[in-house]
Copies of this chain bind each other. A is one copy, B any other.
Amino acid sequence: MAIQKTSREEILKQSAKLFKIKGYYNTSMSDIANACGLLKGSIYHHFKSKDDIGLESLKYIHQYFKDEIFSIANNNTLNTLEKIKLLVRRTDNYFLNSEGGCLLGNLALEVSWSNIEFKNEIKDYFLNWEETLYKIYKEKYSDKKAQELSKEFVALIQGEIMMMNLHNDKDRYLKVGEKMIKLLE
């Protein structure tokens, strides 16, 4: 997920991982400090609060998706099928290789009630994702159909990630990607 540049980034990576697996409220500043090889107090050199880390880690992952995945829709050097294939590959790569699924999705249910900033970041992320798929499906489908497909796939992916976490089985999740591609073949 990019090379480590700063301690700040390392902290975000480690906390994103912990939040995803253990949940936001169940992850303590000690857990984060431990994971980074720091002491609790030292974290406050980089972030002003736990909520700050929470929001920044959401933004960090969101940015990663923007850079690596959502940008594909605007890549004019690829045709429609190539776009969706690349998108699926990159998405799978993230969700399958990083333990615990989707940070923004996992936190959506836990924190969006209590922290409006978190909720907005998460909403924004999913809207960006829908928009990305919409742009790609628009190349072959009607506006209405593209709208429908993009929204449904985003929801379905989240649902299947939940099931993948529970049942330790990647098959159903992978089927979604295949289905997304098939519709553009």
Contact = CB atoms under 8 A, between A and B. Distances in A.
Interface in A91-135: 100-101, 105-106, 108-114, 119, 122-123, 126
A112 B166 contact: yes
Interface stretch (A53-61, A138-146, A152-160): A152-160
Interface stretch (A17-25, A63-71, A72-80): A17-25
A33 interface: no
Q: Which of A101, A123, A163, A166 has the most CB of B within 10 A?
A: A166
A165 interface: yes
Given A26-B110, A106-B109, A114-B22, A159 B155 contact: yes
Contacts of A156: 152, 155-156, 159
**The 6 nearest A-B residue pairs measured at CB:** A155-B159, A159-B159, A25-B25, A158-B159, A23-B110, A106-B109
Given A23-B25, A112-B166, A156-B156, 8 more contacts: A23-B110, A23-B113, A105-B162, A106-B109, A106-B110, A109-B162, A152-B172, A154-B163
